[in-house]
Amino acid sequence: MPRITTVETPGCPPLRVLTTDVLGLVKVVEAHGKVGTPKLVETWGSPDVSRSVLATSFADRQTNPLLAVARRNGVVELLNPLNGDALAKVMVCELGLSNHSTEDDPVVGLHLFRTKKTVLSSRLSVLLICTEKGKACLRSIPLKEASSLDASAVPTSRNWDVSTAGKVICSSVDSEENYALFGGKGIELNLWDLESYNRIWTSKLPRVNSLGIFSPTCFTAATFLGKEDHRKIVAGTNNYQIRLYDISAQRRPVVSVDFRESPIKVVKEDLNGHTVYVGTGTGDLASFDMRTGLDSYLRIWDSRSRQLLSAVFLKQHLTNVAIDSHFYSEAPAGDATVQIRDLQADEQIEAGGLRTMEKSPRGKKNNIEKIKKKMGKKNRMVIEAFELSASEDEDMDKQTSLKRKELTRVERSKNLKRKKRKIIANNEDQIMLRCYPN
């Protein structure tokens, strides 16, 4: 038996939640009062495994709200979320998708357009449907209340292939309902324009690791980060990574961070436009502020070229970044060489070009007089410090050469002593041979 821990909950504010399950049921949970306990108040439908709900989309409008439900048996229903009445129904096999099979190619992505393509006067609702094999369809569906004489209530359909290989797992539509995002197993993230039905961006395959092994990415969840900007995308992967993409900057993620050790199952944006909520396969839930670095790096970017200039690892999780616009880079007081090089660079910009300083002490002395004439009394102390540095370098060179000469003389004397010892030893051996020939 699993160990059960009772957690005391303080209650929640007034809310109404609609849930779907594997038996095809739609349940309504409500909480009343300032601090109430949520309770199941309604259940719509009868339990049936073949009617298991695969995907849902909720058009949360003040007037005429709708709930779209895609079931395992290939039926897509439009329900009234207030009472559960079925307002429209369409079979996926009737959408004209090529080589489609309800069992082998189930619906994985469903979006009910809220305002962009929905004509409330004609009671037409528009659905974006995507199957596991990458078959996409944009279909308008008339509701039951639509007049049969209304010419604008004629259903229309547009089909295209999101991908011809791999398996689509996740999809998302931006808040303005102009772009759709798809990704999955063996399918990189790709962004489509819903007006022209053209792919406008595709993420790039990851680089090989240190062992030279390539591991393809499996995207399990994706969403658009901001309401007004479709260029920033947050995606979760099967290898527990959260990635931030900026399609206007590059095709690879600008930020990537690991979260726990379980596949990411859900990524959902917050209304503030910079926070996302992430859920894993083991039940972990976390929120991330995408305005700051998730991997404790401070990154400096060129806003014009969008090129990464540098990165600094700062260990802790960063919360805010402020830039001092009045900062001026100055060399340390004792480093006269660096200061004089900075002064040379300034003079080069103003006068039109000064020669680069030579690194040898003689070259430094030769350039000092030129700098004095051009600078006058400006930064006199820095030039004097540089003169002292140049003279010290010359003295060091002289001392080094003297030491080398001394070492050479000592080595020569040692070699002479060794030769004398060898000669004496050879003479002694010859004398012994003469005295004792046998």
Write out residues in the chain with pLDDT < 70, as ranges.
1-7, 116-123, 145-155, 292-295, 306, 328-397, 427-438
Q: Which of 86, 141, 87 is nearest to 110 (CA)?
A: 141
Sign of torsion over alpha carbons 330, 333, 337, 339:
positive
- Token output for 173: 């539509």
CB atoms within 10 A of CB 60: 10
∠188-318-306 over CA atoms, to 5°? 50
Evaluate whether the domain defined by 162-320 bears CATH number 2.130.10.10: yes
pLDDT tens-place string over residues 211-234: 887 788 899 999 999 888 899 999
Q: What is the DSSP string of 118-158?
A: -BTTTTEEEEEEEETTSEEEEEEEE-TTS-TT-GGG---EE
Which residue is associated with the tokens 């759709």?
180
Domains 10-106+116-122+143-155 and 162-320 share a fold: no
Which residue is associated with the tokens 């004209």?
96
Burial class of residue 107, CB neighbours in 10 A (0-12, 13-18, 19+): buried
Cβ atoms of 136 and 128 closer than 8 Å: yes
Phi, psi for 220 (deg, rounded to 5): -110, -20
- Token output for 427: 């003479």
pLDDT value for 187: 94
Length of the chain counted residue by residue? 438
pLDDT value for 4: 56
pLDDT tens-place string over residues 233-282: 999 999 999 999 999 888 999 888 889 889 999 999 998 888 899 999 99
pLDDT value for 337: 54
pLDDT value for 353: 43
Which residue is associated with the tokens 């092994």?
213
∠191-194-200 over CA atoms, to 5°? 35
Q: List the domain boundaries for the chain.
A: 10-106+116-122+143-155, 162-320, 330-438
Give SS3 for 405.
Answer: helix
What are the angstrom distances between the C-alpha of 202 and each of 155, 188, 193? 31, 7, 12
Q: What is the DSSP string of 272-314?
A: TSSEEEEEETTS-EEEEETTS-TTSEEEEE-TTT--EEEEEE-
Phi, psi for 419 (deg, rounded to 5): -65, -40
pLDDT value for 391: 59
pLDDT value for 354: 40
Residue 336 is classified by DSSP as H
**Which residues, including other chains, have CB under 8 Å from residue 254's CB and lie 6 or more apart?**
244, 245, 246
**Which residues, including other chains, have CB under 8 Å from residue 247's CB and lie 6 or more apart?**
191, 201, 231, 232, 233
This prediction's pTM: 0.66
Q: Which of 181, 174, 170 is nearest to 219 (CA)?
A: 170
C-alpha neighbours within 13 Å on the C-beta side of residue 109: 29
Evaluate whether the domain defined by 10-106+116-122+143-155 bears CATH number 2.40.128: yes
pLDDT tens-place string over residues 336-350: 455 555 555 555 554
Cβ atoms of 384 and 375 closer than 8 Å: no
Residue 114 is classified by DSSP as S
